[in-house]
Amino acid sequence: MGRKALCLGLTCVLFSYYMYRPMPDNIKDEWKIEFIDALVRTVTSVGIFLENIGVMRYEQLSMLLEMDYTGPVSYENITVTDTTFSDIPVRLYLPKRKSERRRRAVIFIHGGGYVIGSYKHTSYDIFNRMAANQLDAVVVGVDYRLAPQYKFPIALEDVFAAVKYFLHDEVLAKYGVDPTRICISGESSGGSIAAVVTQQMQNHPEFKRKIKAQALLYPVLQLIDLWTPSYRENAHGPVLSRDMGIKMICLYITTDKMCIEAIGLNQHMPEESRHLFKFTNWTILLPEKFKKNHVYTEPILGRYGFTYSEFIDPRISPLLVNDSQLQNLPLTYILTCEHDILRDDGLMYATRLRSVGVQVAHDHMENAIHGGLAYLGRMLSLYQATKLRDKYISWLDENI
């Protein structure tokens, strides 16, 4: 009881302190975002404290706040079921209306920094139900094993296995899916996985023609340079701070606590990685309006002597693939948010894809924060979540 009271007291004090943090000018739903931001920072501080004294791990406390889950409840127009594809849990949304032709399909990969999240999350469930209903499409939500228990590349391998299973002709026929009208989509860390799976599928002889489009919502696309203008401008949030992003990245890669210090200083890359910086050089790849007055500083390489191959692995940083590997990618939709540390990742990917001839549609949401989709349909539902959903569904409707 004493331990619980201590935790509650600390939480209340920290929450009260954090509530007064100023928000960016002209941001929508300011009081809601202030509340969410204060809650996230409070939980983060308490989680780190509890981890340091050995009560529980940081991510365990974060997961307790993510338990807003819903079961596979069907309704008038959509049948919802939980099943597995190649032993990977998936949630299927199948329209009930009869169709004279095969339907299009959307594979959705949730975010959560590789550490939290599930297709069972109420907001994602609402999002996927709406997409299935409004598009008259088969929607597949994929769950993957989470860090730190399951480190890179387990999450990617889980999604890749589920997608491959779904793309087999007999499975597509079973669910009435048109094999020429399939989109892979994902948000945040799920956007990274979606981008990598799409790259891998385009090089797979059996499946390379079965992905018509990819939709990436505020995706994380590189670990090379975590001091781009968007990382600098939004280092303290709102909601997703640079420190929190680094913490989750490290949980996905390694148990070495020096990882956090090294990435925090942007000195984590090995000596042999210098040639890769051309793929994330924001001075060239960012539109002028996003460069502002920032001055590029090349990271110090080899400072910590890390030998982690993950830092230079394109399966975790899809921006690192060369131009020839990007040329065959399908129609792409990218959404970025102004107040988001990951904003520049999406902008740079859009630039690189366009430069090699890939058709790209890019929506940039001014005054929006990272992860708005996670608040869709909840008590603290954000205006930007509804706008994001509408942009996403509209683009899918026109392009797949």
Give the catalytic positions in this structure: 188, 340, 370
Distance between CA atoms of 247 and 245, rounded to whole angstroms? 5
Torsion sign over Cα 385, 389, 395, 400: positive
Phi, psi of 211 (to 5 degrees): -110, 110
Question: Which residues face 138 on adjacent strands?
Answer: 105
Task: Tell the residue number behind the tokens 């505020």, with chain if given.
Answer: 218
Label residue 329 left, alpha or beta by phi (over 0 means left) and psi (-120 to 50 means alpha).
Answer: beta
Q: Environment class of residue 76 by beta-carbon count within 10 Å: exposed (0-12), middle (13-18) or buried (19+)?
A: exposed
Question: Which residues face 139 on adjacent strands?
Answer: 93, 106
Distance between CA atoms of 247 and 63, rounded to whole angstroms? 15
Coil vs helix vs strand at 23: coil
Please name the residue ranges forming H helices in the chain: 2-18, 30-52, 58-64, 122-135, 154-167, 169-174, 189-202, 229-233, 242-253, 258-264, 282-285, 288-291, 323-326, 343-355, 383-399
Coil vs helix vs strand at 70: coil
Distance between CA atoms of 94 and 107, rounded to whole angstroms? 12
Distance between CA atoms of 103 and 163, rounded to whole angstroms? 17
Question: Which residues face 296 on adjacent strands?
Answer: none
Q: Which of 91, 164, 99 is nearest to 125 (CA)?
A: 91
Distance between CA atoms of 183 and 259, rounded to whole angstroms? 35
**DSSP states along 89-152:** EEEEEEE-S--SSPEEEEEEE--STTTS--TTBHHHHHHHHHHHHHHT-EEEEE----TTTS-T
Task: Tell the residue number behind the tokens 């799409």, with chain if given.
Answer: 198
Task: Tell the residue number behind the tokens 């018509």, with chain if given.
Answer: 212
Question: Which residues face 105 on adjacent strands?
Answer: 138, 182
